[in-house]
Structure 1
Amino acid sequence: MLLGVAADAALGDPRRGHPVAGFGRLAQTAERVLHRDERAAGVLYSGLLVGGTAALGVLADRAARRGGPAAEAAVTALATWAVLGGASLADEGTAMGRLLDAGDLDGARGRLAHLCGREAAHLDEQGLARATVESLAENTSDAVVAPLVWGAVFGVPGLLGYRAANTLDAMVGHRSPHYLRFGWASARLDDALNLGPARLAAVLTALCAPVVGGSAGGAWRTWRRDASAHPSPNAGQIEAAFAGALQIRLGGRTVYGHTTEQRPIMGEGRTADAGDVRRSVELSRVIGSVTGALAAVAVVALGVRRRG
């Protein structure tokens, strides 16, 4: 797992043939066949794709074990590298920070689509910075902390199964009329899988905040006070913690292509700016490194317990 974390930090995502992109194309094909405006069709869709991916992980894990420790380590490292998104997340956040620093709001509006699905056409500098910080926070939990947690507990099947569920949520777990019923199962499964990791990510945000000049106490207080008001049971956890850590305000009017949400304000003080985007990137990186170390410790502890 540590090799996979290091590979993600050093190499980022592969430019061609990314396994997650391949899974996305498969999911699109399956959607065209299975889509119906009903929850049962969505349950079948999510069950087949997530269950099939986890089963593939079980087969890969068993084959690797027969090949010996080196093969098992290689397969686990490759799976970890494939599912993590920490380096790409940091790259996108850094690019947004540079565009905002340069005053290139049109470039930043176009770039925001790499991080989230918000409508950016009418966002000003502060709106773009706020959207970036919120997306960096949420994806630190979803694309870094959560896969490592499930990988530590269930190995390769946990890594691949979680990433499949999270990808389906991003694709069909929307509240638009087209996906309201069909995407319900994917959205609820992703919520369930992130209940624990999201709260761990908020705690780690508080612990790591001083490393980037943030406030550990602010992160803890804002998380405990404001997270539950967020419409998402999980995204609000780390977004509130980031707001407190950076001592800024997040939340407010949020526009997507299919809906507009008036989210509660999290945190207090000033609004986000380009400097907060840069600090969010660094905080995300620190959280990812600490989570990788904790996941390795958990793997060893669980292994000792099972042998005992």
Structure 2
Amino acid sequence: MTGEAFAVLAALAYGVAGVAIVQGRPMARGDNGVFLSVLLTAALSCLLWLGWGGTTTGAHPAPRDLTGAILIFAVAGICSNGIGRQAMYWATERIGAVRAGLLRRLTPLFVLPCAYLLLGEVPAPQTLLGSALVLAGVLIYVLPQTRAARPAPDAPSQISANPLGLLLGTLSALAYALAFAFRGLGLDILPDPTFGAMIGAFAGALALLALALARKGLRDGLRHLSRDRQAAHWLTALGLSAGQILQFFALHSAPVVSVALLGTLEVMFSAAIILLITKGETVAIRPLILASILSTAGTAILLFA
């Protein structure tokens, strides 16, 4: 299976997780299962590493290189599981889910300079064409929804396009882009996706734990991180865990930019799940069909280029 195919599967897993997050929100009493998802990612990647881990090239890096790879994987985990995920939650609280979701689509744009500066990756023309089609397909669907969004009469007064919320959403997109680039850099040194996912998840969990303890104290902080354990929270955790591990496998054999842009298919998968299964939200059929055609064409170019 190619790296681009792993990236598509990761987007599907994240799409399932996104729907589950919405379903779990009404019953959430703490962090809506964010910490649970990071812990599950760490446990799953640890099991995978113990069973099937090891570098795919058979290389054995020097101790100094191994230490460097561990630190890079940890930084990637803090960027994605710590800063990126938490900043997006805070942004959603201030500007709403529609605006926050649209800002998340800035990630591929940030990946381009990050991948060039950290990895020296220059995208090929086919990559740019396929990526443009995928991104156009996603934007065709999400932009009308953003323009049509209106705050509900009983919505909290803090839900608006306030500068802090927009800044947090942009910070989240930048953090995810840095995570993509750092993961690719770490895999260049130590090509073991399961090990990298495990280190990143543990680093992200420690970052979330430290943040909760700093904000709420020991007792309330631990309670905040451990209260939400309903079925929707577990489904979210499984989706996010599978998505992150699949992304590591994708980055091992595909350019960072391709993986990041294919990740935008998450929006399309979420919309399809809502339309066909949960039916809990309104889905615009015509924009979805057009967006699906463009995204599928772009995905085909990336897969077979």
Asked whether the two chains share a fold, i.e. TM above 0.5, the reply is no
**Higher RCO, 1 vs 2 (CA within 8 Å, ≥6 residues apart):** 2
Q: TM-score, normalised by structure 1?
A: 0.28
